């Protein structure tokens, strides 16, 4: 062990309060002091699979916002304890379901009953009617300028199609039977997303954006490569290209087993992937695409584990997925001592690991 980990409660180490838009309360996270290069530079290296100096930890290295926080668009209160209904900024009905931990399309509702009528019936949200400037400035006040500005812009092409059509079933039938209408809608949607990106980046020097589009079931992708090439990849790539033009690192969040789309993701310019551990073989992906595509691997220790087991697990994740960079992570824990020691271990162990690699 080259670097001594500061002991829990070390008076020379300050903490900061980290909250999440997805849960009530927050955590006192220790501040890592001795960064040999700026956090921003290290993050770029990690996301571009170029030897970073440590594994970026979103808990300590990022300022994070959901799009609603920087736009004022209507959004669910994720801390709500009771079910309730709300409309999103497209006019689609949602129900927040506390027992499921998130919002879902309100059952038996359908905003658009025929995709071929999208031009007459879908009104794209007027982003100029929202106070992006005020919200972005408000959020920036809560940020540490030395950390990454990370904004999750939410629903992507297929997810918006699904939301408008009241669920996956009709949206997928549309993709099979009405490809022209779907293609036209998704092209217009991409134009609109690009305007949203422009609006956010006008006020925030965004480093990192997460784009959300679920493409798979537990066992495979929802759609064939041909269908995605025909309708989805092109508008998605335009969105990612625009992010890149703005100097933004692109993260794709996609649920399900999306292995067959990995080569396409690389071609589209995805930098980091946020995907389901349960449905995907991270080790195989790292092996095959580890020099081109970074993985976000959240530290998810079993809640019953003691401190030593958690630290050992953190080292294992770094060893397995950190090679050559290409690993972005996050560590939070309800036990303050484990949170402290885990944060330090992730930082210092990965520094030792990358130094070893460079030598």
Partner 1 sequence: MSKIEEIASAVERGKAKLVPGLVEEALDEGADPVEILNKGMIDAMSVVGEKFKNNEIFVPEMLVAARAMKKGVEVLKPSLGGSSDISIGKAVIGTVQGDLHDIGKNLVCLMIESAGFEVQDLGVDVPAEKFVESAADPDVKIVGVSALLTTTMPAMKATVEALNQAPNRENFKVMVGGAPITQEFADEIGADAYTPDAATAASVAKAFVVG
- Angstrom distances, CA of residue 133 to CA of 37, 71, 247, 343: 31, 8, 20, 34
Q: How far apart are the first and last CA of the chain?
A: 16
Stretch that binds partner 1, among 57-65, 221-229, 291-299, 336-344 (CB under 8 A): 221-229
Q: Does 176 bind partner 1 (CB under 8 A)?
A: yes
Nearer to partner 1, 192 or 282 (CB): 282
| CA separation for the pair 297, 317 (Å, rounded) | 8
Structure tokens at 20: 């999440």
- DSSP letter string, 190-244: HHHHHHHHHHHHHHS---EEEEE---B-SSSBSS-HHHHHHHTHHHHHHHHHHHH
Structure tokens at 312: 């050992």
Binding partner 1 by CB under 8 A: which of 21, 90, 95, 127?
95
Stretch that binds partner 1, among 93-101, 145-153, 263-271, 321-329 (CB under 8 A): 93-101
Tokens 């690192």 correspond to 249
Binding partner 1 by CB under 8 A: which of 9, 26, 38, 101?
101
Q: Does 279 bind partner 1 (CB under 8 A)?
A: yes
Binding partner 1 by CB under 8 A: which of 221, 271, 280, 329?
221
| CA separation for the pair 224, 230 (Å, rounded) | 10
- What number of chain residues touch partner 1 (CB under 8 A)? 28
| CA separation for the pair 169, 222 (Å, rounded) | 11
Q: Does 302 bind partner 1 (CB under 8 A)?
A: no
| CA separation for the pair 288, 129 (Å, rounded) | 45
Stretch that binds partner 1, among 43-51, 102-110, 295-303, 343-351 (CB under 8 A): 102-110
Stretch that binds partner 1, among 35-43, 60-68, 222-230, 324-332 (CB under 8 A): 222-230
- Angstrom distances, CA of residue 7 to CA of 4, 36, 339, 343, 353: 9, 20, 12, 11, 20
Q: Does 108 bind partner 1 (CB under 8 A)?
A: yes
Nearer to partner 1, 26 or 101 (CB): 101
Binding partner 1 by CB under 8 A: which of 278, 303, 358, 359?
278
Residue whose C-alpha is closest to residue 30's, from 18, 16, 19 = 16
Binding partner 1 by CB under 8 A: which of 10, 41, 146, 218?
218
Cβ 309 to partner 1 shortest distance, Å: 22
Which residues in 114-173 contact partner 1 (CB under 8 A)?
Answer: 167-169, 172-173
Nearer to partner 1, 33 or 224 (CB): 224
| CA separation for the pair 271, 269 (Å, rounded) | 6
Instruction: State the residues that interact with partner 1 by CB under 8 A.
Output: 95, 97, 99-101, 104-105, 107-108, 167-169, 172-173, 175-177, 217-224, 227, 278-279
């Amino acid at each position: 062990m080259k670097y001594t980990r500061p002991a829990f409660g070390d008076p020379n180490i300050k903490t900061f309060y980290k909250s999440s838009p997805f849960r009530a309360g927050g955590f006192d996270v220790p501040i890592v002091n001795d960064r040999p290069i700026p956090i921003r530079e290290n993050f770029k290296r990690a996301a571009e699979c170029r030897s970073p100096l440590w594994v970026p930890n979103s808990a300590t290295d990022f300022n994070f916002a959901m799009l609603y926080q920087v736009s004022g668009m209507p959004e669910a209160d994720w801390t709500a304890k009771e079910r309730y209904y709300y409309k999103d900024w497209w006019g689609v009905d949602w129900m927040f379901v506390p027992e499921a931990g998130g919002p879902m399309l309100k059952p038996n509702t359908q905003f658009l009953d025929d995709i071929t009528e999208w031009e007459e019936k879908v009104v794209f949200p007027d982003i100029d009617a929202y106070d992006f400037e005020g919200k972005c400035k408000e959020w920036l006040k809560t940020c540490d300028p030395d950390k990454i500005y990370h904004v999750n812009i939410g629903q992507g092409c297929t997810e918006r199609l699904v939301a408008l059509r009241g669920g996956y079933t009709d949206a997928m039938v549309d993709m099979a039977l009405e490809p022209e209408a779907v293609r036209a809608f998704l092209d217009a949607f991409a134009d609109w997303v690009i305007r949203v990106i422009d609006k956010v980046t006008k006020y925030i020097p965004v480093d990192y954006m997460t784009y959300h589009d679920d493409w798979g079931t537990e066992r495979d992708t929802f759609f064939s490569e041909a269908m995605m090439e025909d309708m989805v990849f092109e508008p998605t790539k335009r969105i990612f290209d625009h992010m890149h033009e703005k100097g933004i690192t692109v993260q794709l969040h996609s649920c399900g087993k999306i292995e067959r789309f990995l080569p396409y993701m690389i071609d589209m310019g995805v930098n980091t992937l946020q995907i389901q551990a349960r449905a995907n073989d991270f080790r195989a992906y790292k092996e095959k695409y580890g020099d081109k595509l970074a993985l976000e691997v959240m530290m998810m220790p079993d809640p019953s584990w003691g401190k030593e087991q958690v630290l050992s697990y953190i080292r294992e994740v770094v060893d397995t997925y950190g090679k050559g960079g290409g690993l972005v992570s996050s560590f939070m824990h309800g036990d303050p001592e484990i949170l402290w020691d885990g944060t330090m271990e992730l930082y210092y162990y990965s520094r030792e690991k990358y130094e070893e690699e460079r030598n």
